[in-house]
Amino acid sequence: MYLVTIEGGDGSGKGLATKVVSEILRKEFPFVSVSVTGEPRRDHPLGRLAIDSVRRKTTSPEKEAGLFAADRLDHSHGWILPRLESGIGVVSERNIHSSLVYQGIVGGLGIDRVAHMNSAALVPDLCIWVDCDPKVALSRIKSGTLRAHSDKEEYFETSVLQKKIREGYKKLLSGDIEMPIPFDMGAVIGPVLNEGSEDDFRKKLRSLVRNFMHSRPNPVNVLSEEVDKNLISALIRSSRGQSTLEGLGVKPAIREEEWLAGESPWKVLKNSQIFHMEELSKSAQDERIDVPKHVLSHSISSIYGTLSLMRSADIRELRNALGPVRSVSERHTQTIVRYLHEKLGCIHQHKSLIGREAPRSQMKEEFRSFGRLAIVIWPLKDILRDWMKKNPNTHIRFAMGQIIKSGIYPSAVRSTIERLEIIGAGRSSFPLPKDENELISWWSMKSI
C-alpha cells in the first residue's frame, strides 16, 4: 500500500537502509507482505539500457534521462502498483529523486524537465534520504566487498561528482529547491546520517519509520478503501477455498448467505454493543481492561470483523489479514483477542497437540454476524458511533436513514454498498442494496 524509497549518493548506505526498512515493515506492521526492489532494474532490459547509457557515455543527457524514465514508468505500473493495490508494502532502493538529482541537477537538464519526463510514474509515499561524507562514500565504493556486490563502476565515482551529488540531494530534499509536481505529494525524511555504527543507523531508521507509519498517512498512489476491499475479497476467496475440511469432507457451519442470522443489521449492532457494555461493567473495579467502550472502535471492529471472515488464525496470521487499513498493533491485537476469548466468549482457542505453536482463534458461529457487519459498515463506523453518542434517545434503526439523508457522507455510503457486493446482504431473501434508499431498507430489513 505504501511505496517507500531510499535515496542518497553512491556509498551512502542505501542498500543497508533498504534492508533495515523492509525488515521493520515486515516485523512491526501488518502488510500482506513487503517487497524489495530497486532502480534502475539490473534484471530488466529497460533497466540495463539505462545502466549501459551511463557506463558507455554514448547518449545525450536527455536520452539518458529518458531511458531511466522508461524503466521507471514500466516498473511503476507493471510491478509496483499491483503490489500496492494488494496491500503489499514496497521498498525501493532509488526512485524518482535519483533522476531529479543525477540528471536534473548534476546533469544539468533541470528538475522540471526530468519531472515532466517521469510525470506518469508513481509518487513515493515516503522518501528516506541517507547521507554521509563523500570521502566515506568513496572508500565504501572502492572497497572490494561493496564493488563485488553492486558493480559500482558504472556510477559516478570521483570526489568532485560525489560532492555535486551530495549537494544536489541537499538542495532538493531539504527544500532549498521546490519539489516539482506531482512528486511534492509524498513525505521526505532526512538526512539520516550514516557515518557512525550500524546499530546507531538502524535505530535512527526504526524511529523514523515508526513515526511515519503510526501517523497513518493516506497512500498517494492507491485508495485505502480499494486496497481494503481487495484484501477482503482475497480473504473471502481463501476462506471459501477451505470450506471443505481436507480429508474429512466436512463443511464448517459458516453461513455465507445468511450471516445476519435472520436479524436486521441495526439490531445486530445494538445487541453487540449492549453485550459488550454488560461484560465491561462486570469487571472488578480494580481490574484494568484496555479495550475501547464501543464495538465500532477501530481495534474491536477490525479484529472482530477480520476473524469473522477467517476459519482460524494465530496472532501473526490475523495481523497479516488485517492489512494496512485495518491495522492494529501486535500488543493491542493480543489484548483484544484475549478479551474476545475470556470475557465475551465469542471465539474458541486451541493449540496444536504437537510443538509449541501459538494458540489459534476461531470465531464462534453465533458471533459472526456482528463481525461481518463491522466489515460491511467499516466506512461508516465512526459516523455511526458518533451518531449513537449524540442521539442516545433515538432508536438506532433510524441512524442509517438520518446519516444518508444528511448528504454529508456520499463516499462512505457508496463504499458500504460496494462492500455489501463483496460480502453479501446477509439474508438470501433480501436483495443487495444498489443505492442509498435500498441501503436504508437493508439496515432495517424492510422492503421499500
Residue 77 has pLDDT above 70, yes or no: yes
Side-chain half-sphere exposure of 187, counting CA atoms within 13 A: 18
Chain segment 161-196, per-residue pLDDT in tens: 888 999 999 999 998 999 999 999 999 999 999 988
Out of 59-68, 156-165, 320-329, 431-440, pick the least confident: 156-165
Chain segment 414-444, per-residue pLDDT in tens: 999 999 999 999 998 899 999 999 999 999 9
Mean pLDDT to the nearest integer, 31-44: 94
Q: pLDDT at position 248, please?
A: 35
| 434 against 152, higher pLDDT | 434
Alpha-carbon distances of 312 from 64, 153, 315, rounded to whole Å: 52, 52, 10
DSSP assignment of 334-357 equals: HHHHHHHHHTS--EEEE--SSS-P
Q: pLDDT at position 136, please?
A: 76
Q: pLDDT at position 252, please?
A: 45
pLDDT grade for 153, boundaries at 50, 70 and 90: very low
Q: pLDDT at position 446, please?
A: 82
Q: pLDDT at position 38, please?
A: 96
Residue 147 has pLDDT above 50, yes or no: no
DSSP assignment of 53-91 equals: HHHH--S-HHHHHHHHHHHHHHHIIIIIHHHHHTT-EEE
Q: Alpha-carbon distance 76 to 54, whole Å?
A: 21
Residue 151 has pLDDT above 70, yes or no: no
Residue 24 has pLDDT above 90, yes or no: yes
Q: pLDDT at position 14, please?
A: 93
- Cβ contacts of residue 315 below 8 Å, gap of 6+? 330, 333, 334, 337, 358
Q: Alpha-carbon distance 357 to 265, whole Å?
A: 37
> Reduced to 3 DSSP states, what percent helix, strand and coil does the chain have, rounded to the nearest 5?
55, 10, 35
418's grid cell? 460496494
Alpha-carbon distances of 114 from 41, 66, 186, rounded to whole Å: 19, 8, 17
Q: pLDDT at position 284, please?
A: 58
Say what percent of the chain tops pLDDT 70: 90
Chain segment 337-369, per-residue pLDDT in tens: 999 999 999 999 887 555 556 789 999 999 999
Residues of the chain with CATH 3.40.50.300: 3-224
Chain segment 217-268, per-residue pLDDT in tens: 999 999 999 999 999 999 998 877 654 444 334 444 446 789 999 999 999 9
Are 255 and 363 within 8 A, CB to CB? no
Mean pLDDT to the nearest integer, 325-329: 92
Mean pLDDT to the nearest integer, 304-319: 93
Q: Alpha-carbon distance 402 to 414, whole Å?
A: 15
Q: What is the largest CA-CA distance in the chain?
A: 78
* Sign of the CA dihedral with 75 first, then 78, 83, and 85 last: positive
Beta bridge partners of 398: none
- What's the whole-number average pLDDT of the chain? 89
Q: Alpha-carbon distance 115 to 185, whole Å?
A: 13
Beta bridge partners of 362: 348
Q: pLDDT at position 133, please?
A: 84
Question: What single DSSP character describes residue 218?
Answer: P
Q: pLDDT at position 240, please?
A: 74
Q: pLDDT at position 99, please?
A: 96
Residue 262 neighbours by CB distance under 10 Å: 12
pLDDT grade for 159, boundaries at 50, 70 and 90: confident
Q: Alpha-carbon distance 209 to 4, whole Å?
A: 10
Give the CATH fold of the 3-224 domain. Rossmann fold (3.40.50)
pTM of the model: 0.85
